[in-house]
Amino acid sequence: MDPLWTIALLAAGGYVVSLILHPYTKCRACKDTPGRQHGEIFTYAHRKCVKCGGVGRKLRLGARILLGRSDKK
């Protein structure tokens, strides 16, 4: 087998294992704060993040596609 294919298969396998062990990433909107987005004018006020639903994390794209998982509850 060509060494390039071996490296590609090892990298793909490592990515899938990484998705299984760590399927979540920080929410880009609330930046992993406890699911809150703060106000621009009154910065002490906050609301539940609309991107992650207040969880503070989102599923990685690969976990949604390859593993068939979803953020829906």
pLDDT at residue 41 in the model: 87
Question: pLDDT tens, 43-72?
Answer: 888 888 888 888 888 888 888 888 787 766
Q: What is the mean pLDDT of residues 12-27?
A: 90
4, containing H or E segment: helix 3-21
pLDDT at residue 18 in the model: 92
Whether pLDDT at 73 is above 70? no
pLDDT at residue 72 in the model: 61
* Closest C-alpha among 53, 52, 51, 33 to residue 43: 33
Using CA atoms, how far apart are residues 28 and 11, in angstroms rounded to an integer?
26
